[in-house]
Amino acid sequence: MIMFPFLDRVVRSMNKNDLCISLQDIVDARKIIENQIIRTPIIASPILENLTNMELYFKAEVFQKIGSFKLRGVLNKLHHLSEKEKRRGIITASAGNHAQSLAYASSQLGIKTVVVMPKYAAKNKVIATKKYGAEVVKLENTKTIVEKVYKIKEERNLTMVHPFDDPLIIAGQGTIGLEILEDSPRVPDNVIVPVGGGGLISGIAAAIKQSNPTVKIIGVEPFGADAMNQSLIKGTVVSLSEINTIADGLAAPFAGKYTLAHVKKFVDKIVLVSDEEILDAMRLLAEKVKIVTEPAGAAGFAALLADKIQVSREDFTVCVLSGGNVDTNLLKKVLE
């Protein structure tokens, strides 16, 4: 499989032999994006604390602009594009939240954007991406999505904005980690993060571990899309031959070389959850916390609810709710 050609420049503070970003990269990213994003709240739920028998807070990134954490990385990446790259236009591949965020942010800057979206992309995310002005190319054969992106990029001389495997994207997502440390009532013992391609957990883990290495970072993937878990087992980037999960936001067909390096260095553990466990978590979050998440956003809480992560009553745990762009038909089924 052809990997995305990207990264015309490397974050200045990265060591040649280290693919991981520094804490300073994340601090720099925050200076760039802080006036363009919402500093999302950290919310307690006494009902779910009693249910899970732990001190539990949620980092509610569902309240971010566009309803997803993805905007943070996109804004940082677009800031670093040259004027020539912006004039040429940009291209990406995404199942939805990166697509929406890139379309929204690029429209503010007048940048032409093309998004290749897989057949399983949620209808509401496709509609929103088009609404923000991006050209959407739907692809039936998701196994060829990388090749399709590369072909269009070369034909139209566009600039790639990778959905997750880019140090600038990772640094933008890492601003969530800074906020967790600063806004939590005390230093967390555990931070639980959904994992797709790995950009979110890479950034959060890099921010937190380089600030306080005692905090445990635990990633959560669906059984039907566990590219990061398989990559860790094999010690190299793995491309999935099949994806089967309700969590379209976590359905990355492969991990990235940068994200895998970050997970190896900063993440303590990856656990897997089923679609049924994700749906149960969505339902409880809606009923007890009054927060609507998409499946990907509820994956972290699903792992806690299903006892996939062992924590003590004394532990203080923060669970990242990464996105809220749920398809209305699916939400109806969940609530019923």
Active-site residue numbers? 70, 322
Question: What is the rounded CA–CA span in Å between residue 306 and residue 178?
Answer: 28
Integer Cα distance of 246 and 254 in angstroms: 17
Cβ–Cβ under 8 Å, residues 122 and 93: no
- Spatial distance between the Cα atoms of 254 and 227, rounded to a whole number of angstroms: 5
Token pair for 267: 């993440």
3-state secondary structure the chain: CCCCCCCCCCCCCCCCCCCCCCHHHHHHHHHHHCCCCCCCCEEECHHHHHHHCCEEEEEEHHHCHHHECHHHHHHHHHHCCCHHHHHHCEEEECCCHHHHHHHHHHHHHCCCEEEEEECCCCHHHHHHHHHCCCEEEEECCHHHHHHHHHHHHHHHCCEECCCCCCHHHHHHHHHHHHHHHHHCCCCCCEEEEECCCCHHHHHHHHHHHCCCCCCEEEEEEEHHHCHHHHHHHHCCCCECCCCCCCCHHHCCCECCHHHHHHHHHHCCEEEEECHHHHHHHHHHHHHHHCCCCCHHHHHHHHHHHCCCCCCCCCCEEEEEECECCCCHHHHHHHHC
Q: Which two tokens stand for residue 107?
A: 């429209």
